[in-house]
């Protein structure tokens, strides 16, 4: 089966955002006298939205709703100043997006990043390519792994779910793809391991972006 459309996860799949996310959150922690984390630790904090990132980064014995809400607002302020400092597309992404564009494959972005930051990042780092839909975290809508987002993309593009490839770098992405009846493909250059991707149901795992082309119509 060859696929007609691709949904991309953003953080850890198209863009390496880890340092800007880590620097922003570490500043919030440092300002409050809490321990900071090495950048690598954020690979496991990212993926389920920024509220979860903030909660995972807070000291275990300090996690409460009031502090988490305060730190979430502080994180948004910091990230608003830092989102484009060190972020960049992964190597090989531009070749993949060029090739998909040449094939007229429909492309969309689905991320648990807030909608505002998702749009900023796509505009700044991926403006050479057309994404038919960019869906980030929006108030009142469930985030991944709920399949509402990918189903909305399929509906808006008027392409059956089964004809979508879904490329992501985390268990959340694989579970989302399976729930939406799309082919889950794991990106091994991102934040998580091959083992995690396979255990979460990746049907394929690829080590370089253009390997995705093999599955595209
Ligand atoms: O959790 C986030 O904030 C974003 O993560 P995602 O782009 O991998 O969905």
**What pLDDT is attached to residue 2?**
80
Contact assessment for residue 110 and residue 8, using Cβ atoms and an 8 Å cutoff: yes
CA atoms within 13 A on the CB side of 61: 2
Atom number of ligand 1 nearest to Cα 169: 8
**What pLDDT is attached to residue 62?**
87
Give the residue, out of 20, 47, 83, 174, with the most ligand 1 atoms within 8 A of its beta carbon, to mutate for a pocket test.
47
Range of the domain at 36: 18-82
User: Quick one: 121 and 171 in the same domain?
Assistant: yes
Atom number of ligand 1 nearest to Cα 191: 8
Phi-psi region of 49 (alpha: psi -120 to 50; beta: other; left: phi over 0): left
**What CATH code is carried by the domain that includes residue 93?**
3.40.50.1000
Find where tokens 């929006």 sit: 138
Q: Are strands 106-114 and 5-8 parallel, antiparallel or unpaired?
A: parallel
Neighbouring-strand partners of residue 134 = 109
User: Quick one: 203 and 160 in the same domain?
Assistant: yes
Cα(143) to ligand 1 centroid in Å equals 10
pLDDT tens for the chain, 217 residues long, are 789 999 999 999 999 999 999 999 999 999 999 999 999 999 999 999 999 999 999 999 988 999 999 999 999 999 999 999 999 999 999 999 999 999 999 999 999 999 999 999 999 999 999 999 999 999 999 999 999 999 999 999 999 999 999 999 999 999 999 999 999 999 999 999 999 999 999 999 999 999 999 999 8
**What CATH code is carried by the domain that includes residue 25?**
1.10.150
User: Quick one: 9 and 106 in the same domain?
Assistant: yes
User: Quick one: 101 and 53 in the same domain?
Assistant: no
Total domains, the chain:
2
Is the shortest distance between the CB of 176 and ligand 1 below 6 Å? no
Give the residue, out of 7, 11, 52, with the most ligand 1 atoms within 8 A of its beta carbon, to mutate for a pocket test.
11
User: Quick one: 41 and 145 in the same domain?
Assistant: no
Atom number of ligand 1 nearest to Cα 118: 7
Please tell me the residue having the least CA distance from ligand 1 atom 5.
47
7: which 2 tokens? 């949904």
Is the shortest distance between the CB of 20 and ligand 1 below 6 Å? no
Rounded to two decimals, the ipTM of the complex is 0.96
Cα–Cα distance between 8 and 170 in angstroms, integer? 12
**Cα 104 → chain centroid:** 23
User: Quick one: 65 and 101 in the same domain?
Assistant: no
Is the shortest distance between the CB of 106 and ligand 1 below 6 Å? no
């Amino acid at each position: 089966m060859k696929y007609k459309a691709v949904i991309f996860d953003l953080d850890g799949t198209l863009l390496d955002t880890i340092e800007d996310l880590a620097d922003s959150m570490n500043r919030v922690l440092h300002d409050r006298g809490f321990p900071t984390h090495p950048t690598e630790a954020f690979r496991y904090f990212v993926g389920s939205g920024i509220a979860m990132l903030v909660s995972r980064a807070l000291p275990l014995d300090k996690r409460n709703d009031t502090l988490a809400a305060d730190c979430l607002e502080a994180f948004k302020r910091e990230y608003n100043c830092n989102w484009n400092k060190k972020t960049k597309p992964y190597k090989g992404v531009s070749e993949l997006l060029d090739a998909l564009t040449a094939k007229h494959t429909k492309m969309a972005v689905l991320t648990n990043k807030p909608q505002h930051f998702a749009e900023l990042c796509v505009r700044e780092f991926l403006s050479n390519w057309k994404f038919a839909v960019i869906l980030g975290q929006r108030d009142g809508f469930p985030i991944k792994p709920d399949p509402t987002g990918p189903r909305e993309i399929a509906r808006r593009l008027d392409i059956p779910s089964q004809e979508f490839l879904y490329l992501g770098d985390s268990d959340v992405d694989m579970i989302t793809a399976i729930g939406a009846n799309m082919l889950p493909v794991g990106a091994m250059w991102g934040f998580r391991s091959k083992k995690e991707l396979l255990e979460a149901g990746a049907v394929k795992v690829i080590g370089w972006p253009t390997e995705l082309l093999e599955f595209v119509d």
